[in-house]
Amino acid sequence: MHKPDNQKSGTKSGSLLVADDNPDLLAGLKFLLGPWFGVMDQVSNPNLIPSRIRKFQYDVILLDMNFTASVTTGNEGIYWLREILAMEPEAVVVMITAYGDIEVAVNAIKEGATDFISKSWDEDKILSTLMGALRTSRSKKEINRLKKQQQHLSGQQDQGYTVFRSRAASMERVMKCIEKAAPTEANILVLGENGTGKEVVAREIHRLSQRKQSIFVHLDLGSVSESLFESELFGYKKGAFTDAREDRSGRIELASGGSLFLDEIGNLPTHLQTRLLSVIQNHEITPLGGVRPVQVDVRLISATNRPMAEMIAENSFREDLFYRINTIQVELPPLRERKEDILGLACHFLEKFASRYRTGVPGLSEKAAEKLLGHHWPGNIRELMHSIEKAVIMSEDNIIGPEEFNFGDRIKKTHPPTGSYNISENEKHLIMAALDAFSGNMSRTARELGINRSTLYEKIKKYEIRIFQHDDSGSGDPAGPDTGPVRARPG
C-alpha cells in the first residue's frame, strides 16, 4: 500500500467521523484508516451526526451518499451534507458513493463537499483522498486562527512599548532572569506595584521567546467587569446570552500559538480560577454556551500587585493555580528603590513625547532634575511618564523647569466623615446626613441614596435612627414619613 508523503506508517494524526450504513465497509475502513487517524468515530445512522459534531470538532467527515437500501439518487447524502455545513460552515466533508456516479459526485462538490471516493475499495485512493482532506482541514483552521488574530491586532493601537535599559542592580537581576526564562515554555508571574512596568516586562518576555513571531494577547482583569470575565477569557457561542449575536473567540483562543498576558490575575473569581487551571492542565477550553472543547496552545504570563500569599491563606486564590502560573517569578522594584534610573527614564520619555507631539526634545534644568530625584513616586514609572508628557505639552521653553512638576497639587486622599472605614458606621452617617439635607422627605432621601423607600425604612430601623420634628418651643416629637423640617439622630 502506498504511504502518503507527509505520513509515516503508524503515525496517528487528525480526527475522522465515518457515516455509512454498511457494517462491512465500516469494519474495513476502521482497519485501513485506524493507523492514520488519532480519533476515528463511526455511525451507521445519519441522525446521530448532529449530536456527534456538536460534541467534537472532526477534521474530516466521510459521508455516504445513500443510506436507504435500493436508493441510488444521492439525495440523502446531499441532505446530510447541507445539515453538516449549516452547523459547521468550515467542515471538510468527503462523500462516498458505491456507484461511481460522476454526476451525483459533482452535485455534492457543488453543495460544498471537499472530495469524493468510490466504494470500489482502492486503498491508495481512499487514503490519499482522506490525507488530502486532512491537510485542507488544517489549512482552513490555521487561516481562521490567523484571521481572528489579525482582527485582534487590528483593534489594538500601537502602544510603542520599549524596554529601558536600567542602571540599577536590582533591575539587572530582573533582566537576567527574563533573558533566561523567556526562551522556555515556563509560565511566568510578574509581581510589582502599580506602574512599575509589568506589561512592558511581559512584552519583553514574549519578544525574547520562541513564540515571538506569533501573537501577544493582553487582558487586564482589573479593568474588566466581573460579569464579563468568563466571556472575555473563554469566548462564547451565538445565543449563549441575550446579546450574543455571533460566535466570538475569547482571549485564550486568540492567543493560541503565542503568549497570553493576564494582568491583575488576583482579581480572577474563584470559579474561573478553577477553569483556568483546567486550561493549563488540559490545553483546551469550552466557550460560554458551547459543548465542544477547543484545543489551545498558549504560554501564560501573569501579573499582580496583590499579596498572593495572603490571598491563598484567605482561600481567595487557589494554591494549586498559583504554583502553575508561578514556575518563574519576576519581582519588579518600585521606582523609589532605583533612583539611579529616574533621570534616564525622564530623558527616555522626553524623547518619546517630543516625537509624538512633534516638538524639539527639551532638556531638564538642574532644579527640575533635583525635584524629580527628590520625589517619592508613589505611582512609579507610570507617574513619571505622565509627568514628563504633561511637561512636554505645557512647557514653552526648550528647557523644562521645576515649576512644570506640581507634585504637591495632587488630589489628597479623602478620609471618611466618621473617622472610621467601617462600612456600617459610614452608611448610618450617610443616611442621617441625607435625612437632614432633605428635611426628612423619605421619597427624596431614598432617591438620592439610590435605594427604594422600603430599603430606607429597613436601614433606619437597623441603625436605630430616630427622626425628630422641630417646633418653635424647642420640644421634639418623632416625625412621621415625609414630614419636615426634621433632624435625624442616633437611637
Domain positions in the chain: 15-146, 172-331, 335-409, 423-490
Q: Is the pLDDT of residue 201 over 80?
A: yes
pLDDT value at residue 120: 76
Q: Which CATH architecture has domain 335-409?
A: Orthogonal Bundle (1.10)
Q: Is the pLDDT of residue 140 over 80?
A: no
Averaged over 452-467, what is the pLDDT? 83
Task: State the Cα–Cα distance between residues 208 and 128, nearest whole angstrom.
Answer: 40
Q: Is the pLDDT of residue 312 over 70?
A: yes
Q: 15-146 belongs to which CATH class?
A: alpha beta
Return the C-alpha cell found at 408: 504637591
Name the more confident of 223 and 284. Answer: 284
Q: Is the pLDDT of residue 379 over 60?
A: yes
CB 280 within 8 A of CB 324: yes
Query: Do 15-146 and 172-331 fold alike per CATH?
Result: yes
Q: Is the pLDDT of residue 373 over 90?
A: yes
| Banded model confidence at residue 228, pLDDT cuts 50, 70, 90 | confident
pLDDT value at residue 9: 42
What is the chain's mean pLDDT, rounded?
A: 83
Torsion, Cα of 380, 384, 387, 388 (10° steps): -170
Q: Cα dihedral sign for 224, 228, 234, 236? A: negative
pLDDT value at residue 489: 59
For residue 181, count CB atoms less than 10 angstroms from its CB and return exposed for 0-12, middle for 13-18, buried for 19 or more.
buried
Give 446's Cβ-side CA count (13 Å radius): 15
CB atoms within 10 A of CB 476: 15
Averaged over 288-311, what is the pLDDT? 91
| Banded model confidence at residue 484, pLDDT cuts 50, 70, 90 | very low
Please tell me the CATH code under which domain 172-331 is placed: 3.40.50.300
pLDDT value at residue 339: 92
The closest alpha carbon to 317, from 327, 330, 304, belongs to 304
| Banded model confidence at residue 246, pLDDT cuts 50, 70, 90 | confident
Q: Is the pLDDT of residue 485 over 70?
A: no
CB 261 within 8 A of CB 217: yes
When mean pLDDT is compared across 70-84, 113-127, 464-478, the lowest value belongs to 464-478
pLDDT value at residue 67: 85
Q: Is the pLDDT of residue 157 over 50?
A: no
When mean pLDDT is compared across 5-19, 195-209, 214-228, 375-389, the lowest value belongs to 5-19
CB atoms within 10 A of CB 59: 23
Averaged over 471-488, what is the pLDDT? 45
Averaged over 303-322, what is the pLDDT? 93
Task: State the Cα–Cα distance between residues 213 and 211, nearest whole angstrom.
Answer: 6
Return the C-alpha cell found at 473: 418651643
Q: Is the pLDDT of residue 223 over 90?
A: no
Tell if the pTM clears 0.75, that is, is over it.
no
When mean pLDDT is compared across 239-243, 287-291, 408-412, 461-465, the lowest value belongs to 408-412
pLDDT value at residue 408: 62
CB 313 within 8 A of CB 179: no
| Banded model confidence at residue 63, pLDDT cuts 50, 70, 90 | very high
For every residue of the chain, which 3-state class applies, written as one string?
CCCCCCCCCCCCCCEEEEECCCHHHHHHHHHHHCCCCCEEEEECCHHHHHHHHHHCCCCEEEEECCCCCCCCCCHHHHHHHHHHHHHCCCCCEEEEECCCCHHHHHHHHHHCCCEEEECCCCHHHHHHHHHHHHHHHHHHHHHHHHHHHHHHHHCCCCCCCCCCCCCCHHHHHHHHHHHHHCCCCCCEEEECCCCCCHHHHHHHHHHCCCCCCCCEEEEECCCCCHHHHHHHHHEECCCCCCCCCCCEECHHHHCCCCEEEEECHHHCCHHHHHHHHHHHHHCEECCECCCCCEECCCEEEEEECCCHHHHHHCCCCCHHHHHHHCCEEEECCCHHHCHHHHHHHHHHHHHHHHHHCCCCCCEECHHHHHHHHHCCCCCHHHHHHHHHHHHHHHCCCCEECHHHCCHHHCCCCCCCCCCCCCHHHHHHHHHHHHHHHCCCCHHHHHHHHCCCHHHHHHHHHHCCEEEEEECCCCCEEECCCCCCCEEEEEC
CB atoms within 10 A of CB 385: 19
pLDDT value at residue 345: 93
Please tell me the CATH code under which domain 423-490 is placed: 1.10.10.60
Q: Is the pLDDT of residue 163 over 70?
A: no
pLDDT value at residue 471: 43
Relative to beta strand 188-191, strand 235-236 is unpaired
| Banded model confidence at residue 477, pLDDT cuts 50, 70, 90 | very low
Q: Is the pLDDT of residue 1 over 50?
A: no
Q: Is the pLDDT of residue 410 over 70?
A: no
CB 362 within 8 A of CB 399: yes
Q: Is the pLDDT of residue 478 over 70?
A: no
Task: State the Cα–Cα distance between residues 115 and 127, nearest whole angstrom.
Answer: 12
pLDDT value at residue 136: 85
CA 487 distance to own-chain centroid: 51
pLDDT value at residue 340: 93
Task: State the Cα–Cα distance between residues 197 and 4, nearest whole angstrom.
Answer: 51
| Banded model confidence at residue 285, pLDDT cuts 50, 70, 90 | very high
Name the more confident of 161 and 163. Answer: 163
